Amino acid sequence: MIGGGKDAFIGAVHRIAANIDGQVELCCGALSINPQIAKESGDDLFLAPDRIYDNYEQLISAESQLPAEKRIDFVTIVTPNFAHFAPAMMALDHGFNVVIEKPIALSLEEAKELQQKVAETGLTLCLTHTYSGYPMVKQAKQMVKDGAFGKIRKIMVEYPQGWLSTLTEREGNAGAAWRTDPKKSGKSGCMGDIGTHAAQLAEYISGLKISKVCADLNIVVEGRGLDDDGNVLLKFDNGANGVLIATQIAAGEENALKIKIYGEKGGLEWHQMEPNTLLVKWLDQPAQVYRTGQPYLSEAAKHNTRVPGGHPEGYLEAFANIYRNFALTLRAKLNGETPTEAMLDFPRVEDGVRGMAFIENVVASNASDQKWFDFKL
Amino acid sequence: MIGGGKDAFIGAVHRIAANIDGQVELCCGALSINPQIAKESGDDLFLAPDRIYDNYEQLISAESQLPAEKRIDFVTIVTPNFAHFAPAMMALDHGFNVVIEKPIALSLEEAKELQQKVAETGLTLCLTHTYSGYPMVKQAKQMVKDGAFGKIRKIMVEYPQGWLSTLTEREGNAGAAWRTDPKKSGKSGCMGDIGTHAAQLAEYISGLKISKVCADLNIVVEGRGLDDDGNVLLKFDNGANGVLIATQIAAGEENALKIKIYGEKGGLEWHQMEPNTLLVKWLDQPAQVYRTGQPYLSEAAKHNTRVPGGHPEGYLEAFANIYRNFALTLRAKLNGETPTEAMLDFPRVEDGVRGMAFIENVVASNASDQKWFDFKL
Amino acid sequence: MIGGGKDAFIGAVHRIAANIDGQVELCCGALSINPQIAKESGDDLFLAPDRIYDNYEQLISAESQLPAEKRIDFVTIVTPNFAHFAPAMMALDHGFNVVIEKPIALSLEEAKELQQKVAETGLTLCLTHTYSGYPMVKQAKQMVKDGAFGKIRKIMVEYPQGWLSTLTEREGNAGAAWRTDPKKSGKSGCMGDIGTHAAQLAEYISGLKISKVCADLNIVVEGRGLDDDGNVLLKFDNGANGVLIATQIAAGEENALKIKIYGEKGGLEWHQMEPNTLLVKWLDQPAQVYRTGQPYLSEAAKHNTRVPGGHPEGYLEAFANIYRNFALTLRAKLNGETPTEAMLDFPRVEDGVRGMAFIENVVASNASDQKWFDFKL
Amino acid sequence: MIGGGKDAFIGAVHRIAANIDGQVELCCGALSINPQIAKESGDDLFLAPDRIYDNYEQLISAESQLPAEKRIDFVTIVTPNFAHFAPAMMALDHGFNVVIEKPIALSLEEAKELQQKVAETGLTLCLTHTYSGYPMVKQAKQMVKDGAFGKIRKIMVEYPQGWLSTLTEREGNAGAAWRTDPKKSGKSGCMGDIGTHAAQLAEYISGLKISKVCADLNIVVEGRGLDDDGNVLLKFDNGANGVLIATQIAAGEENALKIKIYGEKGGLEWHQMEPNTLLVKWLDQPAQVYRTGQPYLSEAAKHNTRVPGGHPEGYLEAFANIYRNFALTLRAKLNGETPTEAMLDFPRVEDGVRGMAFIENVVASNASDQKWFDFKL
For residue range C1-57, what is the model confidence (pLDDT) as tens digits?
999 988 778 899 999 999 898 888 899 999 998 889 999 999 999 899 999 999 999
Query: Could you tell me if B316 lies within 8 Å of chain C, comparing CB atoms?
Result: yes
Pick the more confident residue, C173 or C237. C237
Residues 6+ apart with CB under 8 A from B61: B94
Contact (CB<8Å) B16/C20? yes
D94-136 pLDDT tens trace: 999 999 999 999 999 999 999 999 999 999 999 999 999 999 9
C266 contacts chain D (CB < 8 A)? yes
pLDDT score for D172 = 87
Q: From chain D, pick out residues whose CB is under 8 angstroms from the CB of B291.
A: 286-287
Q: A288 and chain B: CB distance < 8 Å anywhere? A: no
**What pLDDT was estimated at residue D216?**
98
Distance from CA of A130 to the nearest CA of B (A): 25
Scanning B242-337, the segments in alpha helix (DSSP H) are 299-303, 315-334
> Is pLDDT of C137 > 90?
yes
Q: What local confidence, expressed as pLDDT, does residue D107 receive? A: 95
> Of B13, B273, B293, which has the smallest distance from its Cβ to C307's Cβ?
B13
Asked if C143 contacts C135 with a C-beta cutoff of 8 angstroms, the reply is: no
Contact B353, B199 (CB under 8 A): no
Q: Is the pLDDT of residue B6 over 90?
A: no
Say if C193 is an interface residue toward chain B (CB within 8 Å).
Answer: no
Q: Identify the H or E element spanning A117.
A: helix A108-121
A307 touches chain D (CB under 8 A): yes
User: Please, what is the angle between helix D315-334 and helix D135-145, to 10°?
Assistant: 70
Question: Which of B102, B148, B132 lies closest to B275, judged by CA?
Answer: B132
CB count, 10 Å around CB of D51? 18
Q: C-alpha A268: how far from its chain's center?
A: 21
Q: Is B17 on the interface with C (CB under 8 A)?
A: no
Q: From residue D313, how far is each of A267, B318, D206, D347 by CA, in Å?
A: 27, 39, 23, 20
Q: Does D298 touch chain B (CB under 8 A)?
A: no
Q: In terms of DSSP bridges, do strands A125-127 and A97-100 run parallel, antiparallel, or are they unpaired?
A: parallel
Residue B156 pLDDT > 90: yes
Of A244, A173, A175, A169, whose CA–CA distance to A203 is shortest? A244
Distance from CA of B13 to the nearest CA of C (A): 8
- DSSP, collapsed to helix, strand or coil, labels residue A29 as strand
Alpha helix segments (H runs only) across chain C: 9-19, 35-44, 56-64, 85-93, 108-121, 135-145, 174-179, 182-185, 190, 196-206, 299-303, 315-334, 349-367
Put simply, the answer to whether D260 touches C245 (Cβ < 8 Å) is no
Q: Are strands A373-374 and A210-218 parallel, antiparallel or unpaired?
A: antiparallel
Judged against a pLDDT cut of 80, whether residue B265 lies above it is answered with yes
Q: What is the pLDDT of residues A31-65, one digit of tens each?
A: 998 889 999 999 999 899 999 999 999 999 999 99
Q: Which residue of A has its CA nearest to D289?
A: A252
Q: Which residues in chain A have Cβ-Cβ distances shorter than 8 Å to B249?
A: 153-154, 262
Residue-level pLDDT at A6: 81
Contact partners for chain C, using 3 or more CB pairs closer than 8 A, are A, B, D
Contacts of A20 in chain D (CB under 8 A): 16, 19-20, 316
Q: Are D64 and D71 in contact (CB under 8 A)?
A: yes
Q: Among A111-115, C125-129, D167-171, name the one with the lowest average pLDDT.
A: D167-171
From residue D150, alpha-carbon distances to D139, D177, D267 in Å are 16, 45, 9
Q: Which segments of chain B are extended strands (E)? A: 74-77, 97-100, 125-127, 152-160, 210-218, 229-236, 241-247, 258-263, 266-271, 277-282, 285-291, 373-374
User: The whole model's pTM is what?
Assistant: 0.97
Judge: A252–B233 Cβ closer than 8 Å, yes or no: no
Sequence-distant (≥ 6) Cβ neighbours of residue C174 within 8 angstroms: none
Q: Where are the alpha helices (DSSP H) in B146-195?
A: 174-179, 182-185, 190
Neighbours of A18 (CB within 10 A): 26
Confidence of residue B9 (pLDDT cuts 50, 70, 90): confident
Measuring CA to CA, which residue among D159, D161, D125, D157 is closest to residue D140? D157
pLDDT for the residue numbered B174? 87
What pLDDT shows up at residue C246? 98
Nearest neighbour of A15 by CB, restricted to D22, D291, D293: D22
CA angle C23, C26, C31 (to 5 degrees): 150
CB of A311 less than 8 A from some CB of D = yes
Nearest to A37 by CA among A77, A5, A15, A76: A5
- Tell me what pLDDT residue C22 has: 86
DSSP conformation letters of B49-85: GGGB-SSHHHHHHHHHTS-TTTS-SEEEE-S-GGGSH
Cβ neighbours of D293 in A, within 8 Å: 254
Average pLDDT of chain D? 96
Name the phi and psi angles at C7, rounded to 5: 75, -5
Per-residue pLDDT tens over the stretch B182-213:
999 999 999 999 999 999 999 999 999 999 99
Which residue in D245, D268, D273 has the most chain C C-beta atoms within 10 A of its own C-beta, making it the best mutation to test that interface?
D245
Distance from CA of D286 to the nearest CA of C (A): 8
pLDDT > 90 fraction of chain C, expressed in percent and rounded: 92
Q: What are phi and psi of B216, to 5 degrees?
A: -125, 100
Kindly report the backbone phi and psi dihedral angles of residue A315, in degrees, each rounded to the nearest multiple of 5, phi listed first.
-60, -45
Average pLDDT in chain B? 96
More confident position, C69 or B289? B289
Q: What is the β-pairing status of strands B125-127 and B97-100?
A: parallel
Q: Across residues A120-135, what is the average pLDDT?
A: 97
Contacts of C313 in chain B (CB under 8 A): 314-316
Average pLDDT in the C182-191 region?
Answer: 95
Complex prediction ipTM: 0.96
Reported in sequence order, the residue ranges of chain A that DSSP labels E, i.e. its strands, are 74-77, 97-100, 125-127, 152-160, 210-218, 229-236, 241-247, 258-263, 266-271, 277-282, 285-291, 373-374
Q: Give me the percent of chain B exceeding a pLDDT of 70.
A: 100
The secondary structure element, H or E, covering residue B12 is helix B9-19
Handedness of CA D13, D344, D350, D266 (dihedral sign): negative
**Looking at the complex, does the CB of residue B297 fall below 8 Å from at least one CB of chain D?**
no
Contact B316 C315 (CB under 8 A): no
List, in order, residues 6 or more apart from D173 with CB less than 8 Å away. Answer: none
Mean pLDDT along residues D307-327: 97
**D300 within 8 A of D343, measured Cβ to Cβ:** no
pLDDT over 90 at C375, yes or no? yes
Cβ-based contacts under 8 A for chains C and D? 132
Per-residue pLDDT, averaged over B46-75, amounts to 94
- Whether residue A309 and residue D161 make contact (CB cut-off 8 A), yes or no, is no
Looking at the predicted structure, is the pLDDT value of residue B7 above 80? Answer: no
Residue D313 to residue A274: CA distance in whole angstroms: 10
Do B283 and A249 touch, CB atoms closer than 8 A? no
User: Is residue C223 less than 8 Å (CB to CB) from chain D?
Assistant: no
Residue A8's pLDDT is: 78
Q: Do D284 and B290 touch (CB under 8 A)?
A: no
C79 pLDDT exceeds 90?
Answer: yes
Which residues of A fall within a CB distance of 8 Å from B265? Answer: 251
Are A220 and B154 in contact (CB < 8 Å)? yes
Mean pLDDT across chain A, nearest whole number?
96
Using a CB–CB cutoff of 8 Å, tell me whether A22 touches chain D: yes
B43 and C CB contact within 8 Å? no
Burial of residue C93 (number of CB atoms within 10 Å: 0-12, 13-18, 19+) = middle
CA-nearest of B317, B345, B320, B280 to B124 is B345
Stated length of chain A: 377
C-alpha D375/C-alpha D328 separation (Å) is: 34
- Looking at chain C, which residue has its C-alpha nearest residue D243? C231
User: What pLDDT does residue C354 have?
Assistant: 98
Partners of B286 on chain D (C-beta within 8 Å) are 280, 288-291, 294, 296
Distance from CA of C149 to the nearest CA of D (A): 9
**Rounded distance, CA D195 to CA D228, Å?**
10
With b for 16 or more beta-carbon neighbours within 10 A and e for fewer, the B7-38 pattern comes to ebebbbbbbbbbbbbbbbebebbbbbeeeeeb
Chain-centroid distance of CA D319 in Å reads: 9
Q: What pLDDT does residue D338 have?
A: 96
Contact B314 C312 (CB under 8 A): yes
Asked if the C-beta of D54 comes within 8 angstroms of chain A's C-beta atoms, the answer is no
Structure confidence at residue B225 as a pLDDT band (50, 70, 90): very high
Q: How confident is the model at residue D9 (pLDDT cuts 50, 70, 90)?
A: confident
Residue C332 has pLDDT above 80, yes or no: yes
Q: Are A127 and A191 in contact (CB under 8 A)?
A: no
Q: Which chain C positions have a beta carbon within 8 Å of D287's beta carbon?
A: 252
Average pLDDT over residues B44-56: 93
- Report the distance separating Cα D10 and Cα D7, nearest Å: 9
D245 touches chain C (CB under 8 A): yes
**Is B280 an 8 Å CB contact of chain D?**
yes
C22 → closest Cβ in B19, B276, B294:
B19
Q: Summarize pLDDT for C267-314 with one digit per residue, the tens.
A: 999 999 999 999 999 999 999 999 999 999 999 999 999 999 999 999
CA distance A283 to B250: 9
In 3D, which of B248, C309, C307, C289 has the Cα closest to residue A281? C289
